[in-house]
Structure 1
Amino acid sequence: MQHLFVYGTLRGSAAGIAELATLFNTSARLLGDARLNGRLYAVSHYPGAVPSDASDEWVHGELYQLLAPEALLARLDDYEECSPSFPEPHEYRRCVLPVQLIHPDRGQLQLSAWVYVYARDFEESSRIHSGRFTARASR
């Protein structure tokens, strides 16, 4: 798998996380805005996405082409605490899901991408209905 969809603290090439920003800049290339059929929840100061079958539920984020997938995904698995070195049950799991790359002039292109999805119970009241994570939306 050569694509990664991000929707939370990893957006913007993980600019707010110094050690990840450098790795992102050398291991991935931004393709553009994208969306995942799903629901977004404020878990704490960060979000969690859950896939959905409803045609009107979207999580908005960014799609990256992975240039060095093994190194980047291994580090991201550690960041998301879902690598084998972290005890089960994990808060997130990495899986392949269909996403839509959004081209302003050409519409949407459907691709498969790695996505970190939330794997624990959540409060429905913490749903971010816009599907867009911002620091304000997480409160």
Structure 2
Amino acid sequence: MKMDWNWKLGNFAIAGLMGLATVGLVFVEAIFSPVSAAQSLSCTGRMNNGWTYSAQFLDGRFTQIRWERSGQPPQVSTLKFLSNNDKGQPIYKGSLMAAVTVTLVDLSGGNVQPGSQISVGVEEWGWSRGNCSL
């Protein structure tokens, strides 16, 4: 029985290209697909006074901010949706240490995904930009 190597190599090359194309499409979809409502994101940043924060985005909304600073116990601010500003950006409010107001502005306009930004403000501390990732 005579084997046709050209035929086998051609089929192997086609199968390999199809595999690469499939992997490429999956990769592109993972990068450019919007976050599903059930997916969780974290947006991190740092205030000028050294406190770092991680804002949790879960089920289509920001739910809390976890605050950390060296030598201090971690703190958590629970967030509640307040309204949209005149640019259509969702605004969330909470408090920190039951003393100061915390404000989070979703700069993506509600379309939070990896690479989106938030703005976090704390009374007497000022404002900071945070970046979102999976």
TM class, shorter-chain normalised? Answer: under 0.3
**TM-score scaled by structure 1?**
0.22
**Larger relative CO (CA 8 A, sep 6+): 1 or 2?**
1
**TM-score scaled by structure 2?**
0.23
| Greater C-alpha Rg | 2
